């Protein structure tokens, strides 16, 4: 089987004829310009994404241009109305929105199951048409419910969707969130609970979003947890602790080591930057976050 041509080889093949007749703008010049348009070539061990909501003050098209310049491959947590803009700039949506009822109302409430099932069954074909294969979901808040009852209810509702998810090859990814600082009363707030839910659902089309920021607040021991439970994790988010700001040396987590641990599990998905920049130049903070996570 022929090996896949490199990005540089493909560009050279496309530009060769045109550059040959466009002197004095040489093939080298044309290749350099095209490489710049594609964005910097990162190390390739991490697939880089960013969460749109953290940059809500920046128009989406501007964020797309900045993301490409940094070398990002994805802008996530976007619904169907935004997907065409991402495609316009050659960007993926690693974790789409577009279904469900928000964070507080989720699968642990059986009275919501019919509405939730209908919502996700409606989005699955749209995801497939757009070329996406994941979608975010949530447990919902406890509202006095025990963890065991929440597991039972959530598994029951999610199992109703697994045949359709498997048919469309779409993975539902439930986010682990902290209930200590940001999302009071949220049920899926510990990795072990999420893993127990994965086991009850019993499908490879249901996995967890391991949010490093949230789980550092709730349980710590991030690298050991990733190594132990990585088969159940379908996506990762970053964020500085405390404060959910930049992931540099102003906070307590050492992200290069965390990224190394993720890579060593064999993970091939995306890592989404989900910190809220506190510096005036938000894009510079995003660029720095990608550089920190772009391990060799």
Domain CATH number, residue 155: 3.20.20.150
Query: Same domain for 163 and 183?
Result: yes
Q: Residue 226: is its pLDDT beyond 50?
A: yes
Full domain range(s) for residue 157: 43-293
Q: Residue 210: is its pLDDT beyond 90?
A: yes
Query: Same domain for 143 and 221?
Result: yes
Query: Same domain for 8 and 62?
Result: no
Query: Same domain for 106 and 20?
Result: no
Enumerate residues 6+ apart whose C-beta is below 8 A from 44.
none
Query: Same domain for 21 and 129?
Result: no
Rounded mean pLDDT, 39-57: 91
Q: Residue 55: is its pLDDT beyond 50?
A: yes
Nearest to 210 by CA among 166, 263, 271, 165: 271
The single residue listed with the structure tokens 């002197």 is 23
Query: Same domain for 15 and 136?
Result: no
How many domains is the chain built from? 2
Q: What confidence score (pLDDT) does residue 110 get?
A: 98
**What confidence tens digit (pLDDT) does each residue in 123-173 have?**
999 999 999 999 999 999 999 999 999 999 999 999 999 999 999 999 999
Query: Same domain for 56 and 28?
Result: no
Q: What confidence score (pLDDT) does residue 41 get?
A: 78
Query: Same domain for 103 and 206?
Result: yes
How many Å apart are CA 75 and CA 60, to the nearest integer? 9
Burial of 233 (0-12, 13-18, 19+ CB in 10 A): buried
**What confidence tens digit (pLDDT) does each residue in 228-244 have?**
999 999 999 999 999 99
Global pTM value: 0.87
Query: Same domain for 33 and 69?
Result: no
**What confidence tens digit (pLDDT) does each residue in 174-194 have?**
999 999 999 999 999 999 999
Query: Same domain for 58 and 74?
Result: yes
Query: Same domain for 183 and 283?
Result: yes
Summary mean pLDDT of the chain? 90
Would you say how long the chain is, in residues? 296
Query: Same domain for 73 and 22?
Result: no
**What confidence tens digit (pLDDT) does each residue in 62-114 have?**
999 999 999 999 999 999 999 999 999 999 999 999 999 999 999 999 999 99
């Amino acid at each position: 089987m022929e090996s896949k041509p490199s990005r540089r080889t493909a560009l050279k093949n496309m530009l060769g004829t045109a550059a040959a007749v466009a002197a004095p703008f040489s093939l080298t010049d044309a290749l350099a310009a095209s490489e710049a348009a594609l964005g910097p070539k990162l190390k390739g061990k991490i697939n880089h994404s960013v969460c749109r909501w953290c940059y809500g003050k920046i128009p989406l098209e501007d964020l797309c241009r900045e993301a490409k310049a940094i070398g990002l491959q994805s802008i996530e947590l976007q619904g169907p109305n935004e997907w065409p803009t991402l495609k316009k700039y050659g960007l993926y949506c690693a974790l789409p929105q577009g279904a469900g009822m928000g964070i507080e109302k989720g699968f642990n409430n059986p009275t919501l199951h019919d509405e939730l099932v209908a919502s996700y069954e409606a989005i699955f074909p749209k995801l497939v048409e757009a070329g996406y294969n994941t979608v975010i979901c949530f447990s919902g808040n406890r509202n006095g419910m025990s963890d065991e009852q929440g597991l039972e209810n959530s598994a029951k509702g999610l199992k109703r969707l697994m045949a359709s998810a498997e048919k469309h090859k779409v993975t539902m990814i439930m986010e682990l969130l902290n209930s200590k600082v940001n999302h009071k009363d949220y049920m899926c707030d510990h990795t072990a609970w999420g893993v127990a839910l994965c086991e009850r659902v019993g499908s490879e089309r249901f996995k967890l979003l391991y949010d490093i920021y949230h789980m550092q607040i709730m349980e710590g021991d991030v690298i050991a947890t990733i190594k132990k439970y990585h088969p159940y994790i379908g996506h990762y988010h970053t964020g500085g602790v405390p404060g959910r700001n930049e992931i540099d040396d102003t906070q307590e987590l050492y992200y290069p080591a965390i990224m190394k641990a993720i890579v060593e599990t064999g993970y091939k998905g995306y890592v989404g930057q989900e910190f809220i920049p506190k510096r005036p130049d938000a894009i510079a903070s995003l660029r720095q976050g990608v550089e920190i996570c772009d391990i060799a």
